[in-house]
A and B are shown apart, each in its own frame.
Chain A
């Protein structure tokens, strides 16, 4: 292999080199962009749950009392027993659990969506602590309330006002901006878990359809080992029965409905096509290039180059070209990914996960979590693409080189 010869060949045959590099780089760029997009959709699907500090949410659907009065459970979130929570907590792969108690409270003059939350927990709605815009967060042992900022504005509720929910009075100690927080389990009023438990336990209507005891909950937020999420989801369904609703990043991915989100198989198939196209382009241009150089190869052999010398020269040329194509492909993909990262994606939040009575304003509206698609090219994908380019170059150059090195110099050098 002679580097000087390689570089001169690539430089003076610029048109041939550029065609080859451009063709292959498009295939490589396609491969990177497709995989980056797929990864971005996957990451986007994690966002709704991630914002509430969880990997899995669990609910159980049930009945609503015929008479909508006082505190009731929404039909999508009825009692999950304390023992069931303990069983779930013990499942291998579960790293932590956050709980919540979501209630619809129908008072004579107003309907409230109330969420009872834990005071301290990095998993679940306790994360709202960081979304307090005015006042303070809830304190233990006190009957006090946080009100959602937009709701407070709509109904003229001010800080330190007292609101009456299910015949109990709660001073308003702060406002939270739920629009900045997760779109899951959004409520109008946030109470301590203890207050919500008392409210649920004392509601006859609620007890009539979904027996409840303090310590039970109706929302579970679970942090789990990433690789065990799918397995855990089915185990949880096994514990809670067929009425359980288990949401995972995978289920959000399906809701996205995009081709990339629907299936890894699509990305795999598209990537394979991109690789095959890249290989074919590389092979075709190199084959044309090498066929044009049959006479040159004949000269090399006549003046004493062995087959190995010829193959290694052609292989090195091909590897360098494909390496350059890989770099160009990566640059194209980085540019395309940057452009695609401005794309917005709306992740639909199922009504069940943030239930609002349909007869209340906005109750029937589809809720979306809108975010910029987090498209980026991970370094391992970039490394793989460059390595793949080099392998394509090596294989193409090696195969074609071996083939062309078999020519007899006497056949190609015979004078015209």
Chain B
């Protein structure tokens, strides 16, 4: 891990029974870097993302995120660490269907002691940046796919993360909406200096990234 690395994984392996999905992978992401993890479906990209983000524990290896080794942390310690350092964007948006757009954005802040006005103010600001200022009170069911993903991006940013993990963020979107989302991610990286590690199987999308990491059969090949 270099001094400027925000994230590093060393000799990471993950086994499910006899099946080794990630095989001794080592990689590092620098602060403010936009890296793209590409590979065919089933090559272990999402599992590696889960290991690096602390959603899952490796069978072997070490993960250091923002200077903290997260392997030995308990479930709750990991959750708190994610709350303070990490943002997630998922392919299926994963918005809470009963909460409005601004409430979905504020979801990571719900367990934190602060007034509802404060939460709303921060969420509104981010939704404004996503050009969704007019959709604050809408439920996810009333939003388009692109709007849902922009709400999800705003949610990933609400805690000022050091790094955002994006798992196939355009997978459920048409190509033009997908491009718009990629523009937002690129802008985030450029303007806010947030590091992004994105998983995709579409090589075209990886062009927006500073670095492309290729995976095959659980190993980083380039």
Q: Please indicate which of the listed interface residues B75, B168, B171 has the most CB atoms of chain A within 10 Å of its own CB.
A: B75
Whether A299 and B94, one on each chain, are in contact in the complex, defined by CB atoms closer than 8 angstroms, is yes
Inter-chain CA distance A40–B1, complex, in Å, is 79
Whether A306 and B97, one on each chain, are in contact in the complex, defined by CB atoms closer than 8 angstroms, is no
Known: A303-B155, A304-B79. A408 touches B55 (CB 8 A): yes
Residue of B nearest to A412 (CB): B94
Whether B96 and A296, one on each chain, are in contact in the complex, defined by CB atoms closer than 8 angstroms, is yes
Inter-chain CA distance A335–B75, complex, in Å, is 49
Inter-chain CA distance A300–B96, complex, in Å, is 9
Inter-chain CA distance A11–B55, complex, in Å, is 31
Whether B46 and A415, one on each chain, are in contact in the complex, defined by CB atoms closer than 8 angstroms, is yes
Q: Which of A2-10, A137-145, A183-191, A360-368 contacts B (4 or more CB under 8 A)?
A: A2-10
Residues in A neighbouring B50, C-beta threshold 8 A: 410
Does B20 count as interface, using CB distance less than 8 angstroms?
no
Does A160 count as interface, using CB distance less than 8 angstroms?
no
Residues in B neighbouring A295, C-beta threshold 8 A: 94
- Specify which of A8, A301, A309 is in contact with B103 (CB 8 Å cutoff): A8
Residues in A neighbouring B34, C-beta threshold 8 A: none
Inter-chain CA distance A409–B56, complex, in Å, is 8
Whether B103 and A5, one on each chain, are in contact in the complex, defined by CB atoms closer than 8 angstroms, is yes
Whether B98 and A304, one on each chain, are in contact in the complex, defined by CB atoms closer than 8 angstroms, is no
Whether A415 and B91, one on each chain, are in contact in the complex, defined by CB atoms closer than 8 angstroms, is yes
Does A179 count as interface, using CB distance less than 8 angstroms?
no
The tally of residues in A whose CB lies under 8 Å from a CB in B reads 29
Whether A416 and B92, one on each chain, are in contact in the complex, defined by CB atoms closer than 8 angstroms, is yes
Does A273 count as interface, using CB distance less than 8 angstroms?
no
Residues in A neighbouring B98, C-beta threshold 8 A: 5, 8-9, 11-13
Residues in A neighbouring B76, C-beta threshold 8 A: 306-308
Residues in A neighbouring B46, C-beta threshold 8 A: 414-415
Bits for A303-315, please: 1 = Cβ < 8 Å to B, else 0: 1111111000000
Inter-chain CA distance A302–B168, complex, in Å, is 16
Residues in A neighbouring B84, C-beta threshold 8 A: 304
- Specify which of A12, A300, A305, A409 is in contact with B97 (CB 8 Å cutoff): A12
Bits for B99-111, please: 1 = Cβ < 8 Å to A, else 0: 1000100011011
Bits for A280-310, please: 1 = Cβ < 8 Å to B, else 0: 0000000000000001101111111111110
Whether B88 and A302, one on each chain, are in contact in the complex, defined by CB atoms closer than 8 angstroms, is yes
Residues in B neighbouring A304, C-beta threshold 8 A: 79-80, 82-84, 108, 111, 159
Main secondary structure of the interface of A (DSSP, over half): helix
Nearest CB on B from A411, distance (A): 8
Bits for B56-92, please: 1 = Cβ < 8 Å to A, else 0: 1000000000000000000110011011100010111
Bits for A8-32, please: 1 = Cβ < 8 Å to B, else 0: 1101110000000000000000000
Does B4 count as interface, using CB distance less than 8 angstroms?
no
Residues in A neighbouring B107, C-beta threshold 8 A: 299-300, 303
Does B116 count as interface, using CB distance less than 8 angstroms?
yes
Bits for B110-149, please: 1 = Cβ < 8 Å to A, else 0: 1100001000000000000000000000010000000000
Bits for A384-416, please: 1 = Cβ < 8 Å to B, else 0: 000000000000000000000000111001111
Does B167 count as interface, using CB distance less than 8 angstroms?
yes
Contact residues, B140-178 vs A (CB, 8 A)? 155, 159, 167-168, 171
Q: Please indicate which of the listed interface residues B47, B111, B139 has the most CB atoms of chain A within 10 Å of its own CB.
A: B111
Whether A302 and B82, one on each chain, are in contact in the complex, defined by CB atoms closer than 8 angstroms, is yes
Residues in B neighbouring A13, C-beta threshold 8 A: 98
Whether B56 and A408, one on each chain, are in contact in the complex, defined by CB atoms closer than 8 angstroms, is yes
Known: A304-B111, A410-B50, A410-B55. A8 touches B79 (CB 8 A): no
Residue of A nearest to B75 (CB): A307
Inter-chain CA distance A415–B171, complex, in Å, is 9
Inter-chain CA distance A295–B97, complex, in Å, is 11
Whether A306 and B111, one on each chain, are in contact in the complex, defined by CB atoms closer than 8 angstroms, is yes
Residues in B neighbouring A296, C-beta threshold 8 A: 96
Q: Please indicate which of the listed interface residues B46, B50, B98, B108 has the most CB atoms of chain A within 10 Å of its own CB.
A: B98
Residues in A neighbouring B94, C-beta threshold 8 A: 295, 298-299, 302, 413
Known: A2-B110, A415-B46. A305 touches B55 (CB 8 A): no
Q: Which residues of B contact A (CB under 8 A)?
A: 46-47, 50, 55-56, 75-76, 79-80, 82-84, 88, 90-92, 94, 96-99, 103, 107-108, 110-111, 116, 139, 155, 159, 167-168, 171
19 contacts between A and B (CB under 8 A): A2-B110, A5-B98, A11-B98, A12-B97, A13-B98, A296-B96, A302-B55, A303-B82, A303-B155, A304-B79, A304-B111, A306-B75, A308-B76, A309-B79, A309-B111, A408-B56, A415-B46, A415-B171, A416-B91
